[in-house]
Amino acid sequence: MAKQVSPGVLALRKVVDDVYADAREAKKQGKLVGWSSSKFPCELAEAFDLNVMYPENQAAGIAAQRDGEIMCQAAEDLGFDNDICGYARISLAYAAGKRASRKFDPETLEFIIDPNSGKPLKDENGKVVIDPETGKPKKDPKTQVPYTVLDDIHEIEALPETTEKEIAYKNFRREAIKPYKQMRIPQPDFVLCCNNICNCMTKWYENIARMCNIPLIMVDIPYNNTVEVSDSAVKYVRAQFDNAIHELEKLTGKKFDEKMEVGTMIETPAAVLIADELAEECDFFSIGTNDLTQYTCALDRQNAKLEPFFDPHHPAVLKAIKMTIDAGHRHNIWVGICGELGADTALTETFLRMGVDELSMNAKSILPVRKIVRSLDLSKPSAKQV
């Protein structure tokens, strides 16, 4: 029986796949593509319509494909110490042009299969087939793969292309690089880093910028271990953002929109309870109903076993949404619904009568929701309990 994958995991996979696909397409179109640390504010890159990849995520994917060891060794051969983070070593080797590739015969351009790879061969009854000569299970040829070797994209691109044989060899060597998405991300045109994670991160990204001869935009966000944050600390962080914006303006040739609205997600009961205080610092609220339901009902929405108890219509969830809308309007900011509930036609009238200003949904849900919105007369009492 196939392992059941939760909707949350599937959604996360799609997000990651889209990020990789968008970056590759942007590179093909000659647009700038950057590498960003997970803590750098992604909204800044988005404001300049920049595509970014995440080396931490990439390194984890490479390790999951069992190519972490060969990439770490490549980094160590470049002079990086084996005491540094494995993710950093994988990323640094990749930035230097190193790639996990599939071994092939340069004369025949055929892959050389690793005889120890693959799954055991099974007969029609599902039993493992034993090799009578060795006494060991036979390997299923369909599951066997070539030996893994290290290659270098800079060496590949420097190869001559004067004859058909040279062209064929060069193209095959390019294609021999392992085809999974983490081993095929574009080289960076810039790097974005925030130091609010670990000391290794800053040197990791400094080295990427140096070896690729590209700009590094660093944001210094000091750790804070108190509930209250001083005005001077806020001003310092804002100055860091202003400097990053200035650098991104130079990089892209675009002007930052100073009138851009800045809001916050309301996704926890704690945020609901201090919504009045948050509204003083925001231009809008976006209520993340998926997480708000999860945390209000005290359950993990990625756990398939708890799915029957995930109830976005729970009175406590709806009351939290109404409290947030009221708090936003008390401070003259607009409030939107984000997440699955925005497309839930059973709650469209409820949300409108609560006073919500915006509903976010996927494209296929727009017409059914719009039909309900146009049919309602909010000046008249509701036919349903709201």
Q: How does pLDDT run across 230-286, given as a tens digit for each residue?
A: 888 889 988 999 999 999 999 999 999 888 788 999 999 999 999 999 999 899 999
Grade residue 1 by pLDDT with cuts at 50, 70 and 90.
Answer: low
Residue 214 dihedral angles phi and psi, to the nearest 5°:
-130, 165
Quote the pLDDT of residue 197.
75
Q: How far apart are CA 327 and CA 278, in angstroms?
A: 9
Give tens-digit pLDDT for 280-295. Answer: 989 999 999 988 988 9
Residue 2 has pLDDT above 70, yes or no: no
CA-to-CA dists, residue 94 to 55, 57, 172, 207, angstroms: 9, 13, 20, 12
Residue from 293, 265, 274, 259 nearest 331 by CA: 274
Q: Nearest to residue 40, comparing CAs of 247, 270, 178, 265?
A: 247
Supply 345's token pair: 């036609």
pLDDT given at position 175: 97
- Summarised one tens digit per residue, pLDDT across range 30-81 is 999 999 998 898 889 999 999 999 999 999 999 999 999 999 999 999 999 9
pLDDT of residue 384: 64
CB-based contact 102:122 (threshold 8 Å): no
Whole-angstrom Cα distance, residue 78 to residue 240? 33
DSSP secondary structure string for all residues of 256-281: --TT---EEEE-SHHHHHTHHHHHTT
Side chain identity at 189, as an amino acid letter?
A: D
Looking at residue 385, what is its pLDDT? 57
User: DSSP string spanning 69-88?
Assistant: HHHHHHHHHTT--TTS-HHH
Q: How confident is the model at residue 15 (pLDDT cuts 50, 70, 90)?
A: confident
CA distance 12 to 349: 30
CA 252 to chain centre: 22
**Structure token digits, residue 278:** 């948050």
Give the pLDDT confidence of 295-341 residue by residue, as tens digits: 998 887 677 777 777 788 899 999 999 999 999 999 999 999 987 88
Identify the pLDDT of residue 125: 87
Q: Which amino acid is at 26?
A: A
Q: What are phi and psi of 267, to 5 degrees?
A: -130, 0
Q: For residues 353 and 386, what is the distance between their CA atoms, to the nearest angstrom?
A: 8
User: What is the percentage of the chain residues whose pLDDT exceeds 70?
Assistant: 98
Residue 146 is given by DSSP the state B
CA nearest 65: which of 99, 93, 109?
99
pLDDT value of residue 383: 66
8-state DSSP, 147: P
Predicted TM-score of the model (pTM)? 0.73
Give residue 315's pLDDT: 92
pLDDT in tens, 160-194: 999 999 999 999 999 999 999 999 999 999 999 99
Are the C-beta atoms of 343 and 361 separated by less than 8 Å?
yes
Over 80: is that where the pLDDT of 105 sits? yes
d(CA 338, CA 321): 11
Asked if 315 contacts 285 with a C-beta cutoff of 8 angstroms, the reply is: no
CA distance 150 to 100: 5
The CA radius of gyration of the chain, in Å to the nearest whole number, is 27
Spell out the residues 6+ positions from residue 197 whose beta carbon is closer than 8 angstroms to its own. Answer: 37, 38, 39
**Phi, psi values for residue 104, rounded to 5°:** -145, 165
State the pLDDT confidence band at 159, using cuts at 50, 70 and 90.
very high
Helix then strand then coil, in percent of the chain rounded to 5, is 45, 15, 40
pLDDT band at 362 (very low <50, low <70, confident <90, very high): confident
